[in-house]
Amino acid sequence: MDIVEVALGERSYPIHIGDGLIDRGELLRAHVAGRQVAVITNSTVGPLYLARVCAAFAEPYRVDTFALPDGEQYKTLEYYGAILDFLLERRHSRSTTLIALGGGVVGDMTGFAAATYQRGVDFLQVPTTLLAQVDSSVGGKTGVNHPRGKNMVGAFYQPRCVIADTGVFATLPAREFRAGLAEVLKYGIIRDAGFFAWLEANAAACVAREPAALAHVVKRSCELKADVVAADERETDLRAILNFGHTFGHALETLTGYQLLLHGEAVAIGMVLAADLSARQGMLPWSAARRVKMAVAALGLPVQPPILPGTDMVAAMGMDKKVVNGQLRLVLATAIGQVTTTEDIDGQALLDTLAAGGRLCDG
């Protein structure tokens, strides 16, 4: 088992990484202060792993379980409210602990419920997708979507620990697994050129889910994110670099109703768009932009966005949380392994990027 520490003073917590950790009940119990536990999962993950998590809590613990429908379209205030209704009906007190057992949607919604139920209760993350293990479960971003924008309602609220069981990848559908690789690749683009080069060289091993490759992928991704979060917990400066490709991706998700693209697929396309725009603005060599596109494709991820009007995309991007005082801010690349956040966006270059479609990064 590897342990990566997220260093946030009194809010610090460990990320435990290894195969079979879901069955290590002592890891869960070590971070549960009271005797009430509520496991929040979804209709897909529950049948696979819920019983194994609940087995960690015999008497004197009382365990209640709640299953959400599976899908990004259910990451709403309505279903967040259903979690709160469940906790109240089962009389959970301020000493309860919520456990998020699932992917990013379950983790975000459970975390938001924990942040707000009785003004804040403990919660643990047990992520069951690659994307959740390397990204959404780490850093304390919680929330739900709004019809006008992704993750527009939420809070910064850190878990007590993250249990990243790499054994769960065996039951993860291929498309869901590849979607997680988008966030992995992002870390190489924004912060670690050596890791990006490793991913280029080991793309086939990653897609094939070779254990040694996956162990490296999860640990290095968590290390990179933990470093960024420790330096800027509430995204006032440095943490914004984690949004590379996300403003484009969130707009794609919003305009397609959260049903056409998985989050990681939208981010993959968004990173290609961001690299393209970076090159059009003279910040990134076209050769580097093409490396981004080729790396995305090598991991089995889409590089071409669905056909959408450029003006609609710009309008949707304008609703993103990174907008400051009405000004769009984007994370753009200056080299592989280095990005910057800028409001100096060439409007025509942005429209050209959005119009390029399948000819992305071919300048």
What stretches in the chain show pLDDT beneath 70? 321-325, 358-363
Q: Which among 163, 188, 136 has a CA at the least distance from the CA of 53?
A: 163
Instruction: Clarify whether residues 54 and 149 are in a common domain.
Output: yes
* Tokens 């456990």, residue located: 99
Instruction: Clarify whether residues 99 and 183 are in a common domain.
Output: no
- The residues carrying an active-site annotation are 119, 141, 183, 225, 235, 239, 243, 246, 250, 263
| Of 106, 140, 171, the domain-final residue | 171
Cβ distance 303 to 269 under 8 Å? yes
Instruction: Clarify whether residues 216 and 342 are in a common domain.
Output: yes
User: To the nearest 5 percent, what fractions of the chain are helix, strand and coil?
Assistant: 50, 20, 30
Domain extent at residue 241: 174-359
Pairing of strands 36-42, 62-68: parallel
| CA pair distance 131, 119, nearest whole angstrom | 28
Specify the CATH number for the domain of residue 259.
1.20.1090.10
| CA pair distance 115, 29, nearest whole angstrom | 20
Instruction: Clarify whether residues 128 and 208 are in a common domain.
Output: no
Instruction: Clarify whether residues 110 and 196 are in a common domain.
Output: no
Specify the CATH number for the domain of residue 46.
3.40.50.1970
What local confidence, expressed as pLDDT, does residue 148 receive?
86
Name, in order, each residue with C-beta under 8 angstroms of 326's C-beta and a sequence gap of 6 or more.
none
pLDDT in tens, 329-356: 999 999 999 999 999 999 999 999 999 8
What local confidence, expressed as pLDDT, does residue 322 receive?
62
| Of 171, 204, 220, the domain-final residue | 171
Instruction: Clarify whether residues 242 and 160 are in a common domain.
Output: no
Name, in order, each residue with C-beta under 8 angstroms of 323's C-beta and a sequence gap of 6 or more.
329
What local confidence, expressed as pLDDT, does residue 163 receive?
98
pLDDT in tens, 191-244: 999 999 999 999 999 999 999 999 999 999 999 999 999 999 998 889 999 999
What local confidence, expressed as pLDDT, does residue 278 receive?
96
What local confidence, expressed as pLDDT, does residue 236 receive?
85
